[in-house]
A = this chain, B = another copy of it.
Amino acid sequence: MTSEVDGDTTELSRPARRQAEIAAYVVKHGSVSANDLVEAFGVSVMTVHRDLDELERQGVVRKYRGGVSAQPTSVFESNVAYRLNTAHAEKAAIARHARAMIEPGMSVMLDDSTSALALIDLIEDITPLTVATNFLPAITRLSQLRDITLLALGGIYSATHDSFGGMPCAEAVEALHTDLLFCSVSAVSSTHAFHQEEEIVLVKRAMLRSARTKVLLVDHAKLQRTALHRLAPLTDFDVVIVDEKTPQDLIEPLRDHGATVEVAKL
Contacts and interface: CB of A to CB of B under 8 A. Distances in A.
Contacts of A150: 156-157
A156 B56 CA distance: 32
28 contacts: A56-B146, A57-B146, A134-B154, A136-B140, A140-B140, A142-B157, A143-B157, A143-B159, A146-B159, A149-B156, A149-B157, A150-B156, A150-B157, A151-B154, A151-B157, A152-B155, A152-B157, A153-B154, A154-B154, A154-B155, A154-B164, A154-B172, A168-B172, A168-B175, A168-B176, A171-B172, A171-B175, A172-B172
A223 to B, nearest CB: 32
Nearest to A173: B154
Interface residues of A, number: 29
Interface in A146-196: 146, 149-157, 159, 162, 164, 168-169, 171-172, 175-176
Nearest to A167: B175
A143 B172 contact: no
A139 interface: yes
- What's the number of copies of this chain in the assembled complex? 2
Given A146-B56, A146-B57, A151 B168 contact: yes
Contacts of A171: 171-172, 175
A154 B153 CA distance: 5
What 8 A-B pairs are tightest by C-beta distance, nearest first?
A154-B154, A150-B157, A152-B154, A57-B146, A153-B154, A152-B164, A154-B172, A143-B157
A151 B143 contact: no
A146 B50 CA distance: 13
Nearest to A140: B140
Given A57-B144, A151-B157, A154-B154, 7 more contacts: A136-B139, A143-B162, A150-B157, A151-B155, A153-B154, A168-B175, A171-B171
